[in-house]
Structure 1
Amino acid sequence: MSDVDFNSSPLFQLRGNLVASQQDEYGPVSVIDHRDFRSMSFDRVFEQSKMLKNQPSLPVHHYIRAMLMAVTLTEAQDILLLGLGGGSLLRALFARDTGISVDVVELSQAVMCVAQDYFYLPQSDNIRYVIDDAARFIADDRGQRNYHLIFSDLYNANALAPIQSTATFLRDCAARLRPGGWLVLNHPHLPSQDPTFSRALLDIFSSLFYTVAPSGNVVIFASRSPCPYPLHQLKRMMKECEADFASDFTPVAQKISRWPGAPIF
């Protein structure tokens, strides 16, 4: 029996109509419409991003909602997004506060073009779109500014980009945080499943929390500064910020936990 080509077999493709497709040296990028939703996909099997067409700023995926809960932790005015995808985080953050200043770093020109043409990216003098490698950008501190929040969501077609798990990348992100700032990571594994990554986090950051989305995505909140809130208050605050995004944050807020081995202040 021959292997199944998942990328070509219609049994394993995302449902919907192909609206557009572009390709660059990093691979194809497809736009797929299905009923009320529009998705971005790199392989037409997995969704990289999903948008409700008549309400683009609404965060659809639970892991995006989990990442957005970080706005309760700091001032959330100077923000860095590493990995654009379809722009779900950016649209939600900008709808909440049009005065934010955001740097958006995306490796693929095709992803950037598709997101700008089909996913209603906000335009503002305070939003800077940059085509660059995230690891190179975060390591280059020449004249660069620091951030209240750094969101890192670096994935290829169906797996985490390896750089996001490295100690070097985590240290570079920590160095670009303002005092009291937070790094927010979309990660595929629980602490016990990735001990090397877990140890790197514990070595670099003072405050570490995480939650698990219904999809299985592990969203990590990391800061060099002590967290001023006890865990029960943190859960309540993160739940209450759902009003800013017109979404239900209960499934992710109630699962906020302290990272194993992280200090309790």
Structure 2
Amino acid sequence: MSIFDYFRYKVIFDKETPHNTRIQVISYLGMRKMTSEGITQSYYYKNSLAKEGYWKKAANIIKAKAPNAQNILFLGLGGGTAVHYVSKDNPNAKLVCVETDNVVIEACQKYFDTDKINNLKIVNADAFEFLADPHKFGISTGFDAVFADLFRGLFFVKIPDFDMFLKQLKNLINKNGLILFNYTFKKNDESSVQKFMQKIKEAFGNLDSEILRGRIETDNHLIYSLLK
């Protein structure tokens, strides 16, 4: 790569998809990132911005709260950033990631090295269909940790039946297992996240959270519970 390529803003992957409308992978200043409709979804895991973001913080929570996790589920792949960090922390664990968008999976395998994560199985399926019947997708085990990172653009996906969603998650988690959500909300508007947190507390009986302040219009709220 020449010095000019390093400084050039370059789209190296560009595909339309019915799920995220348009997925691009952009290379700039030695960085690589995935965008959906121009909104940054993830950075390549070796980039400093990735290590400063919620992906690394989420991995740290899993490491601290579920240090002996042997089976870990990810709902949403993004650029595979969090998966890389969790895999490094848990090299002997079995990782399953459910991603509905085959274009995202393709981009991750080509440009974000998810194909090099030996302990990872990617399931190309809708997360809600997967939760309704994991056996249909070849999953018969429970999980010691689950990370729900489900987005459309900037925000967490709309869930048709939130109570059922939490019940299905609870059924998948082993005793003393961890459930972790990445919930994004607009700055100075925490009412929606408070409602979200209250539902989780009612379902799981306990709750903790960490806020990662964003640089622009949104903040990330990492919300987690341990199933007793």
TM-score scaled by structure 2?
Answer: 0.82
CA contact (8 A) 2:178 2:226 kept: yes
Structure 1 residue 223, shift from structure 2 partner: 2.0
C-alpha distance after superposition, 1:223-259 (max 9, x if no partner): 222xxxxxxxxxxxxxxxxxxxxxxxxxxxxxxxxxx
CA contact (8 A) 2:70 2:94 kept: yes
Given candidates 65, 71, 82, the residue that maps to 1:73 is 65
Structure 1 residue 111, shift from structure 2 partner: 0.4
C-alpha distance after superposition, 1:102-128 (max 9, x if no partner): 111101000000110111114455321
C-alpha distance after superposition, 1:88-141 (max 9, x if no partner): 011112223321201111010000001101111144553211100111112215
CA contact (8 A) 1:62 1:214 kept: no
With over 3 angstroms needed to count, the CA separation of the structure-2 counterparts of 1:162 and 1:111, relative to structure 1, is: same
Structure holding more strand per residue? 2
Gaps (5+ residues) in structure 2?
Answer: 1-7
User: Percent identity between the aligned chains?
Assistant: 23
CA contact (8 A) 1:94 1:122 kept: no
Structure 1 residue 144, shift from structure 2 partner: 2.2
CA contact (8 A) 1:16 1:33 kept: yes
Which amino acid in the other structure matches residue 165 of structure 2? F
Secondary structure of the corresponding residue to residue 155 of structure 2? coil
* Distance of 2:190 and 2:140 partners within structure 1: 32
Structure 1 residue 206, shift from structure 2 partner: 2.1
Structure 1 residue 59, shift from structure 2 partner: 4.1
C-alpha distance after superposition, 1:140-165 (max 9, x if no partner): 15462111110111111232211298
Which amino acid in the other structure matches residue 53 of structure 2? H
Which amino acid in the other structure matches residue 170 of structure 2? A
With over 3 angstroms needed to count, the CA separation of the structure-2 counterparts of 1:164 and 1:82, relative to structure 1, is: farther
Q: Name the residue aligned to 1:180.
A: 176
Larger Rg: 1
Q: Name the residue aligned to 1:224.
A: 227
With over 3 angstroms needed to count, the CA separation of the structure-2 counterparts of 1:39 and 1:90, relative to structure 1, is: same
The yes-or-no answer on 1:102 pairing with 2:95 is yes
Q: Name the residue aligned to 1:193.
A: 192
The yes-or-no answer on 1:33 pairing with 2:27 is yes
* Distance of 1:186 and 1:62 partners within structure 2: 12
Secondary structure of the corresponding residue to residue 112 of structure 1? helix
Q: Name the residue aligned to 1:148.
A: 144
Aligned pairs for 1:88-99 (under 5 A) are 88-99=81-92
With over 3 angstroms needed to count, the CA separation of the structure-2 counterparts of 1:211 and 1:124, relative to structure 1, is: closer
CA contact (8 A) 1:135 1:169 kept: yes
